[in-house]
Chain A
Amino acid sequence: MNYSKRNWIFFPGMLALFLLVSGCGTKKPPVPPTPPSPKPVTATLSANPSSIQRGQSATLTWSTENATDITLEGNKVDASGSQTVSPTQTTTYHLSAKGSGGTQDATAQVTVAQPQATPTPTPTPSLTEEQLFDQSVKDIYFDYDKADLRTESQQTLARSAEVIKAHPNWKVRIEGNCDDRGSTEYNLALGERRADAARQALQQAGVAAGQLHATSLGKEKQVCTEATEDCWQRNRHDHFVLVH
């Protein structure tokens, strides 16, 4: 039984293989024949209407030329076509067209107007505190892998802050959530950043630190499970819970 000897016998062959493998890295690419100059790739994408109310739909229309590989939001699509979307938040759609002439990208934004801002409801005896909280402290939404507050989220938080300040007895838990595409542990850290962003904004708007508790739920509490941009967007949110 002499296994170390076996290695020595194999060694010259192995060394040759080793050189072969290392050689592969330095191989020069063959000089390609001069190809006919490819036609340039073009791509256009438009949204109609480009501004909708929440719950309404918009139509995305796109066309491309000289492209072989066309994707809309990462999904393969025909060279030209249209598709109906109903985003819940302002969304930028991304068209990518690839061909021998290069790659061309186009984007179109659908702006979603928030529902008519209801005047801050005055507490009436008919409304429980929970009902008031649910009506006035709304979820905010985030871009993919981002924890920055969107403009509309800042407005939402400003309205929430007024109501929370008016109820100094309230304790509010801010739950940061992520869609299910990221990795479990990293999403916990990302959810933490999303919750913390809202906490800071509410404090800056005058809410007492002691009223707020930020926590992350990562991707552990999904509100929907479809693999669609709409569902992913619904899951990338801060949710607010009245804990008293």
Chain B
Amino acid sequence: MLHLLLFFIFAAICVAGAINLLAQKHPINSALSLIVVMGSLAVLYLLLGAEFVAALQLIVYAGAVMVLFVFVIMLLNAGVEERTEHGSRVAIVLGVPGLIIGLGIVAWVVSHLAGLDKIAIGGPTIMNGAEVFGNPQAVGRLLFLDYLLPFEVTSILILIAIMGAVVLARREE
């Protein structure tokens, strides 16, 4: 009961943050809305019993990535964005609800096919006789046993991206 109540509160905050992110004119307000979205997503992970994923969401996204966003906005001193005034009124009135309904249907079909809608809110979830996600042991086992090769390949990819960024940043010398 409490889980369901918390789910609706934080889901509402999450959606409101996402809408605010698009509606705000100043980049720093948008970035702060994105932090709210990340934080409420972390709470939703927590409600699913995935406390490790929730903590990582907070540390990596709300903590590290968004600090970099805010840092860049501050450094570039980005101002209020300019808006074009000739948007279609029909697109806003009909298009936005239509898009939401369409995405909702797609999400429902996908989650139904993948069997994700059987996951209950709250507590560790049992699928195929084992706890699927959430605690550090489960995540570690998945990363370093079952998906070791993709994990290592991804880290090399990220390393290459970092080196590429360094090379691009130093090009003028």
The answer to whether A and B belong to the same complex is: no
- Contact residues of B with A, CB < 8 Å? none
